[in-house]
Structures are given as C-alpha cells and as structure tokens.
Structure 1
Amino acid sequence: MDGIEKSMEIIAFGGQGKSLAMTAIQKARAGEFEEAEALMKEAHEAIVKCHQSHSELLFYDAENQDLKFSMLLVHAADHLTSADMTEAMAEEIIELYKEIRHV
C-alpha cells in the first residue's frame, strides 16, 4: 500500500470537509440555512471519505505491520482530527444562528 497516496487522500478530503463546513457557517450567518445544510452534507461526505482512507491505512498496518510512518502521515492524521472538530463545531454554530434568527 502506498502510505503517501493514502496520506494525501486524507489531507485532501479533510481539507475539503473543513472548507465546506466553514463556508456553511458563513451561509448560516447570512441566514441562508438551506445552503448551509447542503454544504454540511457535502462536508460530511468528504469527511467520511477521509475516514475511509484512514481506515484503509489502519487495516493495512494491522495486517502487514510494515507501514512506514512519516511526518506526512502525522500531518494527515491532524487533518482528519481537525476536519472532525470543524464539522462538529460548524453544526453547533449553525444551530446557534438558527436560534438567533428564530428559524
């Protein structure tokens, strides 16, 4: 398995998920809640793909125990974690904007 390729997938999907979630917050701030929800759905799909790539690495390592760790792999793990956190926080922030606007 190419750990570099999987790491890049994690970084790309995580970055996409974070970006979409941040854009969703901006839409919610503007009162565009349907757009915000659609963006959050896209963000979630990207983050699921991020987790799938991560899981493939984990399963490969568990079976073969020859995966070489690198700073890129550590960086990818950071992207996964921050994507999860951004998604969770975006969901809460969007709900707060809805409450403020009484939607």
Structure 2
Amino acid sequence: MTPGLPQKIIDQMVKAGLPINGEYSFRPKLITNYRGQRMIAKRSVLRGPKKGKKGYVDEDGHIWIKDHAHGGMPDHWDVQIDDGDGYIRVNLDGNILK
C-alpha cells in the first residue's frame, strides 16, 4: 500500500474492494474536488470491451473496473491499460490472475 494516504482515501479503497496489499495493489491517483477535498480520480475507458465503463484511476493512469466471476475466474479487477487497449486481471487480494 502507498504510505501516507489519508485515512479517508484508505476507507474509500476498502469500501470499493480495491486491493490494498498484494503484488499489484491499487495505488490511487488523487485529485482535489470542488470542495478542496482529496479523492480518488475516476475516468471512463475509451476503447475495448469495457469502453464507456467508469473506474478508479491509479497513479500509472490505469483504470480499475470491478468484474464479477466468469469463465472460471473469481471476482476480480480488470485493470485497463492505455485506455482499454489492453488489460490485466487482478484478484481482490491484489495478485495478478494468470
């Protein structure tokens, strides 16, 4: 987990089910809202099968979209790379699914 995050951000991550531990834990891109409060950035995917879906943005600009179990995979996060040109699957514990 990224050290030094405000507790409010950690609470948001836990509530959303974003992995805070593991080999590929979520490291949020923080923005300031109109009230001056820090929050996790959100953005829509521009291309690919998840086009139009909104997710959480990490510090590398990847968009995290939660996906339910299918095709033998457990519930996981589809981490969109380059606005949807590629993706990796990360389980709820922050480990990459093969």
Normalising by the residue count of structure 2, what TM-score does the alignment of the two structures yield? Answer: 0.21
Q: Which has the higher contact order (CA 8 A, sep 6+)?
A: 1
* Higher share of residues assigned helix: 1
The structure that has the greater radius of gyration is 1
* Higher share of residues assigned strand: 2
Normalising by the residue count of structure 1, what TM-score does the alignment of the two structures yield? Answer: 0.20
